Amino acid sequence: MIWLIISLLIAAADQLVKYLILSNVQIGKTVFSLKPIVEITHVQNTGAAFSMLEGKVWILGIVSAIFCAAVIAYWIIKKPKHPLLCASVSMIFAGALGNAIDRLARGFVVDYIDVAFINFPVFNIADMAIVIGAGLFILYEILYDRN
């Protein structure tokens, strides 16, 4: 149960920041800069990571929603216990939920974190949760999953 609460808090933080960006920053505008490290720039993404599948927002939204349902089923059926596995699944779920809400409710994902020292796509809290969760899952698989 605690892992679901953590997931929902991450997704809520993601949605709050996205709401603030949508309410206060014009598309393409930068409102904060710590050059050469990071900038806060409003971008709307109708694709997936690195703008792949551009314009396929409904398909991506449905896939994200199905993934979230599958994670919930996994929690109910498998009842994972290992903290590293639980943390990884929670973070991936939170990120998928945050971006699914965007895709299905807005028709695009709100991105805003722009790393200024390399040429890299703009991203958001949900994207960070997915990447960190995937890294933790790989670490769990390497260290603990003997099957």
Catalytic residue among 14, 102, 114, 127: 127
Residue 14 known to be catalytic: no
Catalytic residue among 14, 102, 111, 114: 111
Long-range contacts, stretch 101-107, CB < 8 angstroms, 24+ apart: 101/11, 101/15, 102/18, 102/126, 103/57, 103/58, 103/60, 103/61, 103/64, 104/58, 104/61, 104/62, 104/64, 104/65, 107/46, 107/57
Residue 102 known to be catalytic: no
| Beta strand 109-115 pairing with 30-34 | unpaired
The residues carrying an active-site annotation are: 111, 127
